[in-house]
A and B are shown apart, each in its own frame.
Chain A
Amino acid sequence: MVDNTRKAYWKSLAQRDDGTIPLPVAGSEFQEVPESGGRGLTRRDFLAAAGFTFGSVALTGCNRAPVERAIPYLIQPEAIIPGRATYYASTCGACSAGCGMLVKNRDGRAIKLEGNPDHPDSRGGLCAVGQASVLGPYDSKRLQAPLLKSASAKWDAVDGEIVARLEAIRRDGGTVRFLSGPVTSPTMSRMIDSFLGTFADARHVTYETLSMSAIHRAHERTHGARVLPRYAFDKAEVIVGFDADFLGTWVSPVSFAAGWSAGRNADAPRFSYHVQFEGRMSVTGAKADRRIRIAPGELGLAMTHLASMLAHRAGAPFDSGSPAACPIDAHLLEELADRLWHARGKCLVACGSQDVDEQVLCNFINHLLGSYGATIDVQHPASPVENRYHNDDAVQDLLRELASGTVDALFIHGVNPVYDLPNGADLAQTLPKVETVVSFSDRVDETSRHATYNCPDHHYLESWGDADAGDGTIAFRQPTMLPLFDTRSVLESLSIWSGRKQAAQAIVRETWASRGLKPAARRGATHGTLPSTMVLQWCAPTRSASARSDRSRSSPFEPHSPCRMASSRSYSIRKPPCSTGAARPTRGCMRCPIQYRRLFGTITPAFRSRRLRSLVWPPATSSASTPATPRASSYPFSFNRVSTIRSSPSRSVTAGRRALASPTSVLNGSSEDRSWATTAWWERTPHRY
């Protein structure tokens, strides 16, 4: 029964149609109310009429597209055809790994970077940072000219003042410091050394934001040498990463990614098993077979537990003290220890921690597993370039020196310590007190703001240079575009201030000529060999008689920098069949299924089931041959040493927790570490693998 006195609403279509509820009259729902109120023209009618009348005026605008100009060259450069890209082989300078790359240049501008498949270390990969670095030259924040006391100046004026100042320092035997990131370029290294060599008291200090210092120092303790070992991820069957983002940012991500993916080939008989312990999601964790979330402070604890499990299996003495309970499921860790133990000699444990104790523990685990000599190479460490071994202690020493006011001139290249360092704010206080601060930074940043002279370096895409990729590959860097602004290569700046002005290209050539490498005399000869290194590319002079017949190969920048693409045969556009059809696929292209498959394998049902089976532990069939346990006597260092540290109350395994509590604990701990290290027990122990 419907109550007619109140407004009723229908609740179903049947109810709506049976007529019991009065529905509003359809037509009257949206009633047109004349707005003018009277007869004749309503507001809407007026607008409609006016629209037609005046709107037609707008049609007169439909006339011509705006005038476009086509401005050709005055003098046609060879090899440049508008609309066609030129490719140059060069070397990535966005981090110290020195990956090879191909630079796509159109109309004189670098527009795209891709990995160079012929580079033996990076093997055609280019990481996200490298890819993004093509935007660097076009950054609107770049300094467009040198600054003299924060005011834009001419190079002559800046040079004049700096040279006069340096002369005074040379005369008075003053102190000069050169602060830089890790220098992987042999030429840069040589130039810094020869520049600093002109002063009585000069030192080169390096540090890196993503510091590897803890790894160096851990190896100094365990192996007696400050080295950054080489890691062979392709040879490892079980990979454990403790906060080491080796596919994303750790040490040399591109070459590690290539090695890692080579060990995870769907067609190969084996497929590595990868466990990642980390506190934040990284690319590496996302790619791992098992990702174990763990607080950064508990990393050391988990490693201690893993180490003691492995030491137990190896029958090696390891006194872990009485560490706190394992922060993760002990079964998981037991299973991992089992897997590692089964695959010993084919394991790789990587640790990205900044804590030396944790790195020592990592070395210990790797040693138990026989990784040294198998997947980790300390005999041929990552780079022969001395300055790659950046040293956090030396930076702190430098800061103390600066604070005490004993430094006369400070040169800062490629780093922003005020921003990067934990005690950068103190540095910001002391920098204005240093009499001469020269910054090579490409912008006014937190550090270079305090510089007396800003001498902006070229972007690496505009410079001559070289880089040591870390595996003995020396790769050269050539300008892929003309410098956009009034910047100057740091090599040239240093040569001028040393009193021997040279062009950057000549400086690079001189480095290699002095090591016995001559520029290729013949066009097309692009590879030369040095006694212990491989030379990837060498730019031959182009102004030869055959230049005209070789149009496509010569550089657009002949007058400025006679260089050319090292070998257009191998570096020309590679076009693998690409089913996406869109952008040109390259080996770094993750969007392209072909490339993706090459890196990560095809997922077929058979493969998937094999893969799933391999993830089950223990395996259905026990491994036929278990490698021999390393003999305790062959251990290069004493476990009791390690255990002493581990068990002492102040330096318990919760070292990681300390690190969490105070970001400078690594630095604070340094003096303790060194006093401990001065026992020099390793010097008595021969290390042979």
Chain B
Amino acid sequence: MADKGIRNVTAVLLIGAVFSVATLAARLGAFHLPGNNQGYSPEQPIAFSHRLHAGELLIDCRYCHYGAETSRHAGIPASSVCMNCHTFVTDTLGSLRAEDERAKEEERKPNRMVSSELQKLYGALALDDEMKPTPDGVPAPIEWIQVHNLPDFVYFNHSAHVTANVACERCHGAVETMERVSQVEDLSMGWCVNCHRDVNRVGLAGRSVNASLDCGACHY
């Protein structure tokens, strides 16, 4: 009687073990300790390329992330900032050129080219392809997905770091090579503290610094 009970229990446990291994295995690649989002690279509502803007066109990070020097948040640019250029630049250089050639061949005026991604930007501002307000359009801000996200119990200030000459890529990695931004560092507390220790030892951009190691500097 007892032997049968044990056999049943063992069977149940075995099945459970197989099941959990099966579940885990599928997820093993994405496994992280809680709070560690290293490698996170969500798909954004608009396929904005940092490689193109920061890498190829060499636009300074702070042109768009204008709060980095003055605020705790670096800031996501408002759509009006995008429109500074994209009022005129409506498609990739390649497709504009191609359309030009095609127009020349067909001996007509080149059509206005608007990329599908930029259409989303104009749509958010309730503008049509000709940059005219659409009659029944309702402007709605773009909901970007936040990539680098610190927990609420930690205080981080961009301006303190940027004005102390910490380069953007030290925390954000080589963003100028990324088509879609992903989180490079794990943004863990150990990682923060190690950097604070390092710069206190070797200095930052040739100057000695005093990066705080106090708990209260970030947690209060």
A76 touches B80 (CB 8 A): yes
Which one of B143-151, B190-198, B202-210 is at the A interface? B143-151
A612 at the interface (CB under 8 A from B): no
B24 at the interface (CB under 8 A from A): yes
A71 at the interface (CB under 8 A from B): yes
A68 to chain B, nearest CB (A): 4
Partner of A84, one of B70, B76, B80: B70
B47 at the interface (CB under 8 A from A): no
B145 touches A62 (CB 8 A): no
B32 touches A84 (CB 8 A): no
B195 to chain A, nearest CB (A): 22
B161 to chain A, nearest CB (A): 13
A606 at the interface (CB under 8 A from B): no
B24 touches A59 (CB 8 A): yes
B31 touches A71 (CB 8 A): no
List the B side residues contacting A81 at CB < 8 Å: 66-67, 70-71, 73, 75
A62 touches B31 (CB 8 A): yes
In whole angstroms, what is the CA distance A59 to B81 when docked?
Answer: 42
B16 touches A65 (CB 8 A): no
B71 touches A82 (CB 8 A): yes
Q: Count the B residues whose beta carbon is within 8 Å of the partner chain — how many? A: 48
Partner of A72, one of B5, B9, B144, B220: B144
A76 touches B24 (CB 8 A): no
Known: A53-B13, A54-B20. A64 touches B146 (CB 8 A): no
B131 to chain A, nearest CB (A): 15
Digitize A66-82: 1 where CB-to-B-CB distance is under 8 Å, 0 elsewhere: 01111111111000011
In whole angstroms, what is the CA distance A46 to B12 when docked?
Answer: 11
Most interface-central of A59, A68, A72 (chain B CB within 10 A): A72
Which one of A14-22, A37-45, A141-149, A663-671 is at the B interface? A37-45
A641 to chain B, nearest CB (A): 64
List the A side residues contacting B9 at CB < 8 Å: 41, 46
Known: A72-B76, A73-B141, A83-B67. A64 touches B37 (CB 8 A): yes
B71 touches A75 (CB 8 A): no
Known: A71-B141, A84-B67. A62 touches B23 (CB 8 A): no
Give the number of residue pairs across the A-B interface with Cβ within 8 Å: 114
A33 at the interface (CB under 8 A from B): no
The residue of chain B having its C-beta at the shortest distance from the C-beta of A582 within the complex is B220
Partner of A56, one of B13, B20, B139, B146: B20
List the B side residues contacting A40 at CB < 8 Å: 2-3, 6
B145 touches A68 (CB 8 A): yes
Known: A50-B16, A56-B24. A70 touches B145 (CB 8 A): yes
List the A side residues contacting B175 at CB < 8 Å: none
Q: Count the A residues whose beta carbon is within 8 Å of the partner chain — how many? A: 33
Partner of B30, one of A36, A50, A63: A63
Known: A76-B80, A81-B66. A60 touches B24 (CB 8 A): yes
List the A side residues contacting B118 at CB < 8 Å: none
Interface set, chain A 78-126, CB cutoff 8 A to B: 81-84
B144 touches A71 (CB 8 A): yes
In whole angstroms, what is the CA distance A81 to B140 when docked?
Answer: 20
List the A side residues contacting B145 at CB < 8 Å: 67-70
B67 touches A57 (CB 8 A): no
In whole angstroms, what is the CA distance A162 to B24 when docked?
Answer: 69
List the B side residues contacting A49 at CB < 8 Å: 13
List the A side residues contacting B24 at CB < 8 Å: 56-57, 59-60
B23 touches A57 (CB 8 A): yes
A59 touches B13 (CB 8 A): no
B54 at the interface (CB under 8 A from A): no
List the B side residues contacting A65 at CB < 8 Å: 35, 37, 149
In whole angstroms, what is the CA distance A73 to B142 when docked?
Answer: 8
A555 to chain B, nearest CB (A): 17
The residue of chain A having its C-beta at the shortest distance from the C-beta of B71 within the complex is A83
B27 at the interface (CB under 8 A from A): yes
B151 to chain A, nearest CB (A): 8
In whole angstroms, what is the CA distance A57 to B67 when docked?
Answer: 42
The residue of chain A having its C-beta at the shortest distance from the C-beta of B64 within the complex is A72
Digitize A23-44: 1 where CB-to-B-CB distance is under 8 Å, 0 elsewhere: 0000000000000101111000
Most interface-central of A56, A76, A81, A582 (chain B CB within 10 A): A81
In whole angstroms, what is the CA distance A70 to B38 when docked?
Answer: 19
In whole angstroms, what is the CA distance A36 to B80 when docked?
Answer: 72
B153 to chain A, nearest CB (A): 13
The residue of chain B having its C-beta at the shortest distance from the C-beta of A85 within the complex is B71
B182 to chain A, nearest CB (A): 12
B58 at the interface (CB under 8 A from A): no
B144 touches A70 (CB 8 A): yes
Most interface-central of A50, A54, A60 (chain B CB within 10 A): A60
B187 to chain A, nearest CB (A): 11
List the B side residues contacting A69 at CB < 8 Å: 143-146
The residue of chain A having its C-beta at the shortest distance from the C-beta of B75 within the complex is A82
A578 to chain B, nearest CB (A): 14
The residue of chain A having its C-beta at the shortest distance from the C-beta of B34 within the complex is A62
B67 touches A53 (CB 8 A): no
Digitize A425-445: 1 where CB-to-B-CB distance is under 8 Å, 0 elsewhere: 000000000000000000000
In whole angstroms, what is the CA distance A83 to B3 when docked?
Answer: 67
Digitize B4-22: 1 where CB-to-A-CB distance is under 8 Å, 0 elsewhere: 0110010001001101110
In whole angstroms, what is the CA distance A62 to B23 when docked?
Answer: 13
List the A side residues contacting B142 at CB < 8 Å: 71-72
List the A side residues contacting B30 at CB < 8 Å: 63-64
B33 at the interface (CB under 8 A from A): yes
A46 to chain B, nearest CB (A): 6
List the B side residues contacting A67 at CB < 8 Å: 42, 145-146
A71 touches B16 (CB 8 A): no
In whole angstroms, what is the CA distance A56 to B79 when docked?
Answer: 45
The residue of chain B having its C-beta at the shortest distance from the C-beta of A41 within the complex is B6
Interface set, chain B 65-89, CB cutoff 8 A to A: 66-67, 70-73, 75-81
B19 touches A72 (CB 8 A): no
A62 touches B70 (CB 8 A): no
List the A side residues contacting B6 at CB < 8 Å: 40-41
In whole angstroms, what is the CA distance A38 to B3 when docked?
Answer: 10
In whole angstroms, what is the CA distance A505 to B173 when docked?
Answer: 50
List the B side residues contacting A60 at CB < 8 Å: 23-24, 27, 31
In whole angstroms, what is the CA distance A84 to B142 when docked?
Answer: 22
- Pull 24 A–B residue pairs with CB atoms less than 8 Å apart, ordered by A: A40-B3, A41-B5, A46-B9, A53-B16, A54-B16, A56-B21, A57-B23, A59-B31, A62-B31, A64-B32, A65-B37, A68-B146, A69-B143, A72-B75, A73-B79, A74-B79, A74-B124, A74-B125, A74-B139, A74-B140, A75-B78, A82-B67, A83-B72, A84-B72
Task: For the complex of A and B, list the 6 residue pairs with the smallest distance between their C-beta atoms, beginning with the closest.
Answer: A76-B78, A83-B73, A83-B71, A73-B78, A72-B76, A68-B146
